[in-house]
Amino acid sequence: MLWWLVDHANVVYVLLGFVALVLAVRWWQTRRRAYAIAAGVTAVLIGLVFLLTLLIVTDRQRLVLTVQEMARALDERKLDKFFEHVSPSFRLSAMDAKAFRAYAEDQLRRFDVKAFRAWGIRPGAVSRADKGQVEFMFQVEGDWVHQPPPMRCEAEFAFENGRWLLRGFELFQVGKVDRFELPR
């Protein structure tokens, strides 16, 4: 239950804020002490939810942090750090985790990748028993004849050994529905 409150804190703030506003207006109109106390309790609840958002890190937040760490590792060209977040059971077309690492090393070197940026990271369905899904946009800058456009990534993570690890992903060019195949 606490994870829901933290993941949906903005909804809770709006609802409790509306309740506090209604109670404050009723107190102003009637000057009844009960309305003032109820408005105060509601304000305390808003503060409590805020404290929970500072203290609790949910699985959805962990997935966002993992994607940010992976993007930072690629931007810094630190593949060891990137592959700490890749599952041994990773699959992408015919590539396993080892083949994907060799592919990534080759692409970074061949195209002299200068920058990797990820943004708009949005976690989807999250279940430790099943999987975690994350969608985000990214842009890669390197020495290509034609700079590739921003891409959308739909990544799937698995909760293994107490942390979220990348199990696979699909890429899509922005504005297109067909899956993008990695160039060889």
Question: How many domains, the chain?
Answer: 2
64 and 103 co-located in one domain: yes
DSSP state at residue 148: P
63 and 51 co-located in one domain: no
94 and 48 co-located in one domain: no
pLDDT at 174: 85
- What is the pTM for the complete model shown? 0.81
47 and 132 co-located in one domain: no
pLDDT at 1: 65
107 and 63 co-located in one domain: yes
The CATH number for 152's domain is 3.10.450.50
Question: Is it the case that residue 152 has pLDDT exceeding 80?
Answer: yes
pLDDT at 5: 87
27: containing domain: 2-55
C-alpha dihedral over 9, 10, 16, 21, to 10 degrees?
160
16 and 28 co-located in one domain: yes
32 and 63 co-located in one domain: no
Q: How do strand 115-126 and strand 132-141 relate by DSSP bridges? A: antiparallel
pLDDT at 9: 93
46 and 69 co-located in one domain: no
20 and 109 co-located in one domain: no
Average pLDDT along the chain? 92
Question: Is it the case that residue 184 has pLDDT exceeding 80?
Answer: no
Place of tokens 């009723």: 26
pLDDT single digits (tens) 97-134: 999 999 999 988 988 888 999 999 999 989 888 899 99
C-alpha span between 25 and 39 (Å, rounded): 10
Q: How do strand 95-96 and strand 91-92 relate by DSSP bridges? A: antiparallel
88 and 8 co-located in one domain: no
124 and 170 co-located in one domain: yes
17 and 72 co-located in one domain: no
Question: Is it the case that residue 2 has pLDDT exceeding 80?
Answer: no
